[in-house]
Structure 1
């Protein structure tokens, strides 16, 4: 009597047959590249399934990123709103002080400091040379940029223009080893020369005698000497004062106020703003009227 299920090959024979077929397929694929078109078709068929399987992950990542960006925008908006209010209050006081200062200068027969022309520039590239602290900005000769022009950020002096191109310029930072800037202390008006040492967060004050009154935390601003940097702009804050009697001078270091390692938007300064034509004409007319009345 025949059984319902006929008995097939043994397990060993099945294993040997599977191994032989596998080796044959591997050889044909490796040497003859016989299944290249088959793989292309299979990948084309499986591609929609892969996208569908990956869709939940993509949606979750985009949702989380949008939520994070929205929260960051809200936080930045609140921070900038508060900062705007504080700056508005300081600007109001500054306008009053500026008017009082102008009146006092007139009484003392001291010329009023001229207004400066400003232009916003953007960082284009950073020099890859580890021994050089230089950057590129997107303003050049077409924008009126000139050699040795002062460059600032929102906190203080960044450096000066060293090369001017047609549409871009190269700026050397105050932290460069070849750069020096004359500064003075706000506390006692003592003058120093701050030089870079190749680090973004440190400047050296050169040739400071042990007897000079300099303390940690002193604010250093540009002194205006050398006629490169305008007077009164923040430069650095004294971070360390070491008196070693075995050395002729004290070792004084300062930390730049400008964020030299995270620059993005910069400010170019001109030494004096060109007078407005209408304002100049009004001044001339007033002068003529006063002369006629005097006659």
Structure 2
């Protein structure tokens, strides 16, 4: 049953009419530019729709760029952190090397005889016995180290070699209770014997008469007697003089000039002992001068 809504032109007629209207509109728009204002309005109306249609793509692109930028930033941050860690490690090494270089420069500038041979040694170990002040150095027989060889640092005399191994040696410090060193006062040339006390910062002068001219601040240097330590090297400084008449001798306490508690680099000396003829010649010269 046909209704009023099904009545009208056929599909072919409708298609033909649509084609004719389209060609007519195209002709009018192309030749007469009659739809210019309408096209502007349509573009204005369609712009928000186009933006909305492109929005998902823009959001995806923006998200992808942000993710890439974040990954790059994280990678660069990690790279910079690694470089900072490496530079910090190098800076720490630089500080240590700079300190060692300064110590070695001071050590090599120690007051040495021009004709004396010397060799830098490094501390390897410290004796754990609290009653023994000894250290081990990294030079031995293959380096020419010998028994009773004098050892100094950049300040003064440290001790002497007591044991020699192939590649290392043991040094007895002047602070050891079994060690004694002949010294003289730099101010008035009075001779003494400085004995170790067992403490790294104290030595004692034995058998000092009350009448001897010695006072706090006097510098004591090696006298050269005993044929172990060369003459003229700093040994200690007087820190205390007690003259108690109830005692037979004055009590004199001196402090080692060498930093025995902070040893790191040491200097081995090849002390050339004088022959009897040289000593006799010097004695004759001294008596002649007198």
TM-score (norm 1): 0.58
Structure 1 consecutive aligned stretches of length 4 or more whose deviation exceeds 3 Å: 61-77
Q: How does 1:60-139 map to 2 (within 5 A)?
A: 62=85, 69=92, 72=95, 80=102, 115-139=115-139
Native 8 Å contact 1:184 1:192 kept in 2? yes
Q: How many residues align?
A: 195
**Residue equivalent to 1:271:** 271
**Residue equivalent to 2:184:** 184
Unaligned runs of 5+ in 1: 1-54, 99-112, 274-295
**For residues 96 and 147 of structure 2, what CA distance do their matches in structure 1 show?**
38
Native 8 Å contact 1:244 1:250 kept in 2? yes
**For residues 259 and 182 of structure 2, what CA distance do their matches in structure 1 show?**
19
**Residue equivalent to 2:159:** 159
Native 8 Å contact 1:123 1:136 kept in 2? yes
State the SS of the aligned residue for 1:261: helix
State the SS of the aligned residue for 1:210: coil
Return the index of the structure with the highest Cα Rg.
Answer: 2
Native 8 Å contact 1:119 1:269 kept in 2? yes
**Residue equivalent to 1:174:** 174
State the SS of the aligned residue for 1:176: coil
Shift of 1:167: 1.0
State the SS of the aligned residue for 2:123: strand
Shift of 1:272: 3.0
**For residues 268 and 97 of structure 2, what CA distance do their matches in structure 1 show?**
30
Native 8 Å contact 1:155 1:259 kept in 2? yes
Quickly say closer, same or farther: Cα 1:238–1:145, change in 2 above 3 A: same
Native 8 Å contact 1:151 1:157 kept in 2? yes
TM-score (norm 2): 0.59
**Residue equivalent to 1:258:** 258
**For residues 73 and 167 of structure 1, what CA distance do their matches in structure 2 show?**
25
**Residue equivalent to 2:245:** 245
State the SS of the aligned residue for 1:235: strand
Shift of 1:87: 11
**For residues 267 and 98 of structure 2, what CA distance do their matches in structure 1 show?**
25
Unaligned runs of 5+ in 2: 1-77, 274-290
Quickly say closer, same or farther: Cα 1:146–1:245, change in 2 above 3 A: same
Shift of 1:114: 7.1
**For residues 209 and 219 of structure 1, what CA distance do their matches in structure 2 show?**
18
Describe the superposition over 1:76-119 as per-residue Cα deviations: whole angstroms up to 9, x where unpaired. Answer: 69x95xx97x999x99xx9xxx9xxxxxxxxxxxxxx8721111
Shift of 1:262: 1.1
Shift of 1:121: 0.8
State the SS of the aligned residue for 1:159: strand
